Amino acid sequence: MKHIPHVLALLAVAALSACNTTQGPPAGGGYKPGESAPARISEAEAETLTTQYLDLKGQRTTMVNALNATSDPAARSRYARAIDDLSRNMQPLEYRLRSAGRPVP
């Protein structure tokens, strides 16, 4: 019974460690291994990143709607690839905004 407080302490430390882990940069985001995005960015950069993110998000929504509206297998495949590409392009922008503590739209 005397080991229970130690076990509980270890579990608490493990839980806190799991909560504090930060996701590293996405693949192809322009960062070298072990490198991360700056914690601060200018207002102009935040605005530019947000605008780019919203543009890609709008394009992705258009592709999702087109995918849902067609039954042609070839077209569905093209739309699905386009959606994946747009999502992949959004990841570095989202990572950069989150790293700087900026909201992601």
Q: What is the DSSP string of 37-73?
A: --S---HHHHHHHHHHHHHHHHHHHHHHHHHHH---H
Check: CB of residue 96 under 8 Å from CB of residue 34. Answer: no
Per-residue pLDDT at 75 exceeds 90 = yes
Specify the pTM.
0.70
- pLDDT tens per residue, range 9-67: 444 444 433 333 346 777 666 666 666 777 899 999 999 999 999 999 999 999 999 99
